Amino acid sequence: MSSAHPQCAAEIVDLRSDTVTLPTDAMFEAMRSAPLGDDSRDGDPTVRALEQKAADLAGKTAALFVPSGTMGNLLAMLAHGGRGGEVFSDAGAHLFNSEIGSVVTVAGLVPRPIPSHRGAMQEEPLAQAISATASAGRPRPALIWMETTHNGAGGAVLPLAHMARVHALGRSNGIAVHVDGARLFNAAVALGGSAQQIAAHADSLMFCVSKGLSAPIGSLLVGDAALIAQARAFRRFIGGNMRQAGVIAAAGLVALNSMIARLRDDHEAAQRLARGLAWLDPALAEPGHVQTNILRIDTSGSAQSAAEWASRLKAHDILVQASGASQLRLVTHRHIDRAAVERTLAAFAAVAPKA
Protein backbone atom coordinates (compact mmCIF):
# COMPACT_ATOMS: atom_id res chain seq x y z
CA MET A 1 0.00 0.00 0.00
CA SER A 2 1.68 3.20 -1.12
CA SER A 3 -0.55 5.69 0.61
CA ALA A 4 0.05 6.93 4.12
CA HIS A 5 -3.71 7.15 4.48
CA PRO A 6 -5.31 4.00 3.05
CA GLN A 7 -8.84 5.36 3.17
CA CYS A 8 -7.81 8.56 1.40
CA ALA A 9 -6.70 9.11 -2.17
CA ALA A 10 -4.33 6.27 -2.98
CA GLU A 11 -1.87 8.53 -4.78
CA ILE A 12 -0.72 10.41 -1.66
CA VAL A 13 2.65 9.38 -0.22
CA ASP A 14 2.97 10.99 3.20
CA LEU A 15 6.55 11.09 4.48
CA ARG A 16 6.12 13.98 6.89
CA SER A 17 6.16 11.76 9.97
CA ASP A 18 5.44 8.27 11.26
CA THR A 19 2.70 9.87 13.36
CA VAL A 20 0.45 9.66 10.28
CA THR A 21 0.17 5.88 10.61
CA LEU A 22 -3.33 4.51 11.06
CA PRO A 23 -4.31 1.73 13.49
CA THR A 24 -4.29 -1.83 12.19
CA ASP A 25 -7.42 -3.96 11.94
CA ALA A 26 -6.23 -5.86 15.01
CA MET A 27 -6.02 -2.59 16.92
CA PHE A 28 -9.55 -1.58 15.97
CA GLU A 29 -10.83 -4.98 17.12
CA ALA A 30 -8.91 -4.75 20.40
CA MET A 31 -10.29 -1.26 21.02
CA ARG A 32 -13.83 -2.49 20.44
CA SER A 33 -13.56 -5.42 22.84
CA ALA A 34 -11.23 -4.06 25.54
CA PRO A 35 -12.22 -4.51 29.21
CA LEU A 36 -12.74 -1.02 30.62
CA GLY A 37 -12.81 0.79 33.95
CA ASP A 38 -12.40 4.29 35.33
CA ASP A 39 -8.63 4.75 35.21
CA SER A 40 -8.78 7.77 37.52
CA ARG A 41 -10.72 5.91 40.23
CA ASP A 42 -10.30 2.15 40.42
CA GLY A 43 -8.04 1.72 37.43
CA ASP A 44 -8.73 0.54 33.90
CA PRO A 45 -7.70 -3.11 33.44
CA THR A 46 -6.50 -2.61 29.88
CA VAL A 47 -4.43 0.42 30.87
CA ARG A 48 -2.91 -1.58 33.71
CA ALA A 49 -2.04 -4.40 31.32
CA LEU A 50 -0.36 -1.95 28.95
CA GLU A 51 1.60 -0.34 31.79
CA GLN A 52 2.81 -3.73 32.99
CA LYS A 53 3.81 -4.73 29.46
CA ALA A 54 5.75 -1.47 29.04
CA ALA A 55 7.54 -1.87 32.36
CA ASP A 56 8.49 -5.46 31.51
CA LEU A 57 9.84 -4.54 28.07
CA ALA A 58 11.97 -1.77 29.58
CA GLY A 59 13.12 -3.80 32.57
CA LYS A 60 11.63 -1.27 35.00
CA THR A 61 9.29 -1.84 37.93
CA ALA A 62 6.48 0.52 36.89
CA ALA A 63 5.02 2.50 34.00
CA LEU A 64 2.47 5.24 33.42
CA PHE A 65 0.25 5.63 30.34
CA VAL A 66 -0.03 9.21 29.08
CA PRO A 67 -1.65 10.79 26.00
CA SER A 68 1.58 12.11 24.47
CA GLY A 69 5.34 11.91 24.58
CA THR A 70 5.57 15.58 25.48
CA MET A 71 3.45 14.90 28.57
CA GLY A 72 5.58 11.88 29.45
CA ASN A 73 8.75 13.94 29.26
CA LEU A 74 7.21 16.75 31.30
CA LEU A 75 6.08 14.31 34.00
CA ALA A 76 9.61 12.90 34.16
CA MET A 77 10.99 16.38 34.79
CA LEU A 78 8.39 17.07 37.47
CA ALA A 79 8.77 13.68 39.15
CA HIS A 80 12.55 13.86 39.32
CA GLY A 81 12.25 17.23 41.04
CA GLY A 82 15.07 19.74 40.99
CA ARG A 83 12.99 22.81 40.19
CA GLY A 84 15.36 25.71 39.59
CA GLY A 85 18.19 23.38 38.59
CA GLU A 86 19.77 22.72 35.22
CA VAL A 87 18.82 20.04 32.73
CA PHE A 88 21.74 18.97 30.53
CA SER A 89 21.10 17.77 26.98
CA ASP A 90 22.50 18.16 23.51
CA ALA A 91 21.67 21.41 21.75
CA GLY A 92 19.66 19.66 19.04
CA ALA A 93 17.41 17.72 21.40
CA HIS A 94 13.66 17.65 20.81
CA LEU A 95 13.40 18.81 24.43
CA PHE A 96 15.14 22.10 23.66
CA ASN A 97 13.71 22.66 20.20
CA SER A 98 10.09 21.58 20.57
CA GLU A 99 9.34 21.32 24.31
CA ILE A 100 11.29 24.26 25.73
CA GLY A 101 8.19 26.03 27.06
CA SER A 102 7.35 23.15 29.38
CA VAL A 103 10.97 22.83 30.52
CA VAL A 104 11.09 26.40 31.78
CA THR A 105 7.55 27.45 32.61
CA VAL A 106 6.12 24.20 33.99
CA ALA A 107 9.06 22.11 35.20
CA GLY A 108 11.03 25.18 36.25
CA LEU A 109 14.33 23.85 34.92
CA VAL A 110 17.13 25.81 33.27
CA PRO A 111 18.23 24.38 29.89
CA ARG A 112 21.96 23.75 29.53
CA PRO A 113 22.80 22.68 25.95
CA ILE A 114 25.91 20.54 25.53
CA PRO A 115 27.93 20.26 22.29
CA SER A 116 27.17 17.01 20.53
CA HIS A 117 27.81 14.88 17.48
CA ARG A 118 24.84 13.19 15.84
CA GLY A 119 22.79 13.56 19.00
CA ALA A 120 25.43 12.22 21.40
CA MET A 121 26.62 14.76 23.94
CA GLN A 122 30.39 15.22 24.09
CA GLU A 123 31.24 13.67 27.41
CA GLU A 124 34.05 15.98 28.52
CA PRO A 125 32.02 19.19 27.99
CA LEU A 126 29.13 17.51 29.84
CA ALA A 127 31.36 16.68 32.81
CA GLN A 128 32.76 20.21 32.79
CA ALA A 129 29.26 21.72 32.70
CA ILE A 130 28.21 19.62 35.68
CA SER A 131 31.31 20.69 37.61
CA ALA A 132 30.70 24.34 36.75
CA THR A 133 27.34 24.28 38.50
CA ALA A 134 29.19 24.00 41.80
CA SER A 135 30.34 27.61 41.45
CA ALA A 136 28.45 30.36 43.22
CA GLY A 137 25.52 31.87 41.39
CA ARG A 138 24.84 28.93 39.07
CA PRO A 139 21.78 26.66 39.18
CA ARG A 140 22.44 23.23 40.65
CA PRO A 141 22.54 20.17 38.36
CA ALA A 142 19.10 18.56 38.26
CA LEU A 143 18.77 16.15 35.33
CA ILE A 144 20.74 14.66 32.43
CA TRP A 145 18.73 14.08 29.26
CA MET A 146 19.45 11.79 26.32
CA GLU A 147 17.41 11.17 23.16
CA THR A 148 17.44 7.98 21.07
CA THR A 149 16.62 7.70 18.29
CA HIS A 150 17.53 11.33 17.75
CA ASN A 151 15.02 13.25 15.65
CA GLY A 152 17.23 16.25 14.91
CA ALA A 153 20.16 14.04 13.95
CA GLY A 154 18.17 12.13 11.36
CA GLY A 155 17.13 9.17 13.48
CA ALA A 156 20.62 8.52 14.84
CA VAL A 157 20.94 5.86 17.53
CA LEU A 158 23.02 6.55 20.63
CA PRO A 159 25.72 3.90 21.18
CA LEU A 160 25.05 1.85 24.31
CA ALA A 161 28.60 2.42 25.55
CA HIS A 162 28.08 6.18 25.37
CA MET A 163 24.78 5.90 27.22
CA ALA A 164 26.44 3.79 29.91
CA ARG A 165 29.17 6.38 30.46
CA VAL A 166 26.68 9.24 30.66
CA HIS A 167 24.55 7.28 33.13
CA ALA A 168 27.63 6.54 35.24
CA LEU A 169 28.54 10.24 35.20
CA GLY A 170 25.07 11.06 36.45
CA ARG A 171 25.23 8.48 39.23
CA SER A 172 28.63 9.66 40.40
CA ASN A 173 27.27 13.19 40.71
CA GLY A 174 23.88 12.28 42.16
CA ILE A 175 22.02 13.36 39.00
CA ALA A 176 19.15 11.35 37.53
CA VAL A 177 19.23 10.44 33.83
CA HIS A 178 16.12 10.49 31.63
CA VAL A 179 15.91 9.15 28.08
CA ASP A 180 13.49 10.55 25.52
CA GLY A 181 12.94 7.30 23.66
CA ALA A 182 9.96 8.35 21.56
CA ARG A 183 11.24 5.90 18.92
CA LEU A 184 12.84 3.53 21.43
CA PHE A 185 12.03 0.38 19.48
CA ASN A 186 13.51 1.79 16.27
CA ALA A 187 16.72 2.24 18.26
CA ALA A 188 16.54 -1.30 19.65
CA VAL A 189 15.95 -2.81 16.21
CA ALA A 190 18.84 -0.82 14.73
CA LEU A 191 21.16 -2.00 17.50
CA GLY A 192 20.01 -5.59 17.12
CA GLY A 193 19.18 -5.58 20.82
CA SER A 194 16.31 -4.93 23.18
CA ALA A 195 14.56 -1.96 24.71
CA GLN A 196 15.74 -3.19 28.09
CA GLN A 197 19.39 -2.83 27.06
CA ILE A 198 18.76 0.85 26.30
CA ALA A 199 16.59 1.54 29.34
CA ALA A 200 19.27 0.05 31.62
CA HIS A 201 21.19 3.30 31.14
CA ALA A 202 18.37 5.54 32.38
CA ASP A 203 16.53 6.20 35.62
CA SER A 204 13.42 6.98 33.59
CA LEU A 205 12.48 6.65 29.94
CA MET A 206 9.56 7.68 27.75
CA PHE A 207 8.50 5.90 24.57
CA CYS A 208 5.61 6.35 22.14
CA VAL A 209 3.26 3.75 20.71
CA SER A 210 1.69 6.22 18.27
CA LYS A 211 4.56 6.59 15.78
CA GLY A 212 5.96 3.66 13.85
CA LEU A 213 4.10 1.22 16.09
CA SER A 214 0.85 2.63 14.63
CA ALA A 215 -1.34 2.99 17.72
CA PRO A 216 -3.55 6.10 17.46
CA ILE A 217 -2.65 7.68 20.80
CA GLY A 218 -0.29 7.27 23.68
CA SER A 219 3.11 7.08 25.31
CA LEU A 220 4.54 5.33 28.35
CA LEU A 221 6.82 6.68 31.05
CA VAL A 222 8.79 3.93 32.79
CA GLY A 223 10.92 3.97 35.93
CA ASP A 224 10.93 2.71 39.49
CA ALA A 225 7.73 2.52 41.52
CA ALA A 226 8.41 5.65 43.58
CA LEU A 227 9.13 7.79 40.52
CA ILE A 228 6.05 6.57 38.67
CA ALA A 229 3.88 7.22 41.74
CA GLN A 230 5.14 10.80 41.70
CA ALA A 231 4.51 11.07 37.97
CA ARG A 232 0.99 9.70 38.41
CA ALA A 233 0.23 12.43 40.96
CA PHE A 234 1.61 15.11 38.65
CA ARG A 235 -0.43 13.71 35.75
CA ARG A 236 -3.58 14.56 37.69
CA PHE A 237 -2.14 17.97 38.55
CA ILE A 238 -1.70 18.93 34.88
CA GLY A 239 -5.06 17.50 33.79
CA GLY A 240 -3.75 14.35 32.17
CA ASN A 241 -5.90 11.76 33.91
CA MET A 242 -8.35 9.84 31.73
CA ARG A 243 -11.40 7.67 32.39
CA GLN A 244 -12.09 4.61 30.18
CA ALA A 245 -8.64 4.94 28.65
CA GLY A 246 -8.51 1.24 27.87
CA VAL A 247 -10.16 2.09 24.56
CA ILE A 248 -6.85 3.56 23.41
CA ALA A 249 -4.55 1.48 25.61
CA ALA A 250 -5.81 -1.63 23.82
CA ALA A 251 -4.23 -0.43 20.59
CA GLY A 252 -0.99 0.18 22.46
CA LEU A 253 -0.97 -3.42 23.66
CA VAL A 254 -1.36 -4.67 20.09
CA ALA A 255 1.47 -2.35 19.06
CA LEU A 256 3.86 -3.71 21.68
CA ASN A 257 2.87 -7.32 21.05
CA SER A 258 3.00 -7.35 17.26
CA MET A 259 4.46 -4.23 15.64
CA ILE A 260 8.05 -3.98 16.89
CA ALA A 261 9.83 -6.46 14.62
CA ARG A 262 8.37 -4.95 11.44
CA LEU A 263 10.13 -1.61 12.15
CA ARG A 264 13.05 -3.15 10.29
CA ASP A 265 10.99 -2.78 7.10
CA ASP A 266 10.78 0.97 7.70
CA HIS A 267 14.53 1.18 8.16
CA GLU A 268 15.07 -0.66 4.89
CA ALA A 269 12.67 1.71 3.10
CA ALA A 270 14.63 4.68 4.46
CA GLN A 271 17.86 3.13 3.17
CA ARG A 272 16.35 2.66 -0.30
CA LEU A 273 15.28 6.29 -0.30
CA ALA A 274 18.71 7.46 0.85
CA ARG A 275 20.54 5.42 -1.78
CA GLY A 276 18.21 6.62 -4.52
CA LEU A 277 18.55 10.26 -3.51
CA ALA A 278 22.34 9.97 -3.28
CA TRP A 279 22.38 8.53 -6.80
CA LEU A 280 20.29 11.49 -7.97
CA ASP A 281 22.59 13.98 -6.20
CA PRO A 282 25.26 12.90 -3.69
CA ALA A 283 24.83 16.20 -1.85
CA LEU A 284 21.22 15.40 -0.96
CA ALA A 285 21.67 12.32 1.22
CA GLU A 286 24.34 10.27 2.97
CA PRO A 287 23.10 6.66 3.18
CA GLY A 288 25.72 5.85 5.79
CA HIS A 289 24.05 8.25 8.20
CA VAL A 290 20.62 6.64 7.91
CA GLN A 291 20.30 4.22 10.82
CA THR A 292 16.54 4.04 11.30
CA ASN A 293 13.47 5.53 9.60
CA ILE A 294 14.32 9.24 9.43
CA LEU A 295 16.19 11.00 6.62
CA ARG A 296 17.46 14.55 6.81
CA ILE A 297 17.90 15.86 3.26
CA ASP A 298 20.34 18.73 2.75
CA THR A 299 19.12 21.09 0.02
CA SER A 300 21.71 23.82 0.66
CA GLY A 301 23.66 22.96 -2.47
CA SER A 302 20.65 23.28 -4.76
CA ALA A 303 18.97 26.31 -6.29
CA GLN A 304 15.78 25.62 -4.32
CA SER A 305 14.99 26.21 -0.68
CA ALA A 306 13.60 23.38 1.41
CA ALA A 307 10.17 25.00 1.26
CA GLU A 308 10.35 25.11 -2.55
CA TRP A 309 11.32 21.44 -2.69
CA ALA A 310 8.42 20.55 -0.41
CA SER A 311 5.95 22.60 -2.42
CA ARG A 312 7.00 21.07 -5.74
CA LEU A 313 7.00 17.56 -4.34
CA LYS A 314 3.49 18.16 -3.03
CA ALA A 315 2.39 18.88 -6.59
CA HIS A 316 3.46 15.28 -7.31
CA ASP A 317 1.45 14.02 -4.30
CA ILE A 318 4.56 13.47 -2.18
CA LEU A 319 4.38 15.08 1.26
CA VAL A 320 7.63 15.90 3.09
CA GLN A 321 8.46 18.28 5.91
CA ALA A 322 10.61 21.36 5.34
CA SER A 323 12.85 22.04 8.33
CA GLY A 324 14.53 25.40 8.21
CA ALA A 325 15.77 26.94 4.99
CA SER A 326 17.77 23.98 3.71
CA GLN A 327 16.58 20.72 5.22
CA LEU A 328 13.82 18.28 4.42
CA ARG A 329 12.74 15.55 6.79
CA LEU A 330 11.40 12.28 5.40
CA VAL A 331 10.10 9.58 7.74
CA THR A 332 9.24 6.07 6.60
CA HIS A 333 6.54 3.94 8.22
CA ARG A 334 4.33 0.94 7.52
CA HIS A 335 2.34 2.72 4.79
CA ILE A 336 5.50 3.38 2.75
CA ASP A 337 6.09 0.35 0.57
CA ARG A 338 8.46 -0.20 -2.36
CA ALA A 339 6.07 1.46 -4.80
CA ALA A 340 5.90 4.54 -2.57
CA VAL A 341 9.69 4.70 -2.43
CA GLU A 342 9.95 4.51 -6.22
CA ARG A 343 7.29 7.20 -6.68
CA THR A 344 9.11 9.43 -4.21
CA LEU A 345 12.43 9.04 -6.01
CA ALA A 346 10.76 9.75 -9.35
CA ALA A 347 9.19 12.90 -7.92
CA PHE A 348 12.54 14.12 -6.57
CA ALA A 349 14.08 13.58 -10.00
CA ALA A 350 11.23 15.51 -11.62
CA VAL A 351 11.47 18.55 -9.35
CA ALA A 352 15.26 18.73 -8.99
CA PRO A 353 16.75 21.90 -10.50
CA LYS A 354 18.17 21.23 -13.92
CA ALA A 355 21.78 22.11 -14.61
Please, which contacts does 32-40 make with residues 24 or more away whose CB atoms are closer than 8 Å?
Answer: 33/250, 34/246, 34/247, 34/249, 34/250, 35/246, 36/244, 36/246, 36/247, 37/244, 37/246, 38/243, 38/244, 39/65, 39/241, 39/242, 39/243, 39/244, 39/245, 39/246, 40/236, 40/241, 40/242, 40/243
Residue 222 has pLDDT above 90, yes or no: yes
Instruction: State pLDDT tens for residues 32-72.
Output: 999 999 988 888 999 999 999 999 999 999 999 999 999 99
Alpha carbon 320 to its chain's center: 18
Instruction: State pLDDT tens for residues 179-190.
Output: 999 999 999 999
Q: Domain 13-19+262-351 in CATH: superfamily?
A: Aspartate Aminotransferase, domain 1 (3.90.1150.10)
Residue closest to 88 by CA, chosen among 172, 6, 170, 23: 170
Q: How do the domains of the chain map onto residue ranges? A: 13-19+262-351, 34-259
**% of the chain residues with pLDDT over 90:** 83
Decide: 338 and 23 in contact? Cβ < 8 Å: no
- The CATH number of 34-259 is 3.40.640.10
* Positive/negative CA dihedral, 187, 169, 57, 221: negative
Question: What is the reported pLDDT for 9?
Answer: 46
| Confidence class for position 19, pLDDT limits 50, 70, 90 | very high
Flag whether the pTM goes above 0.75: yes
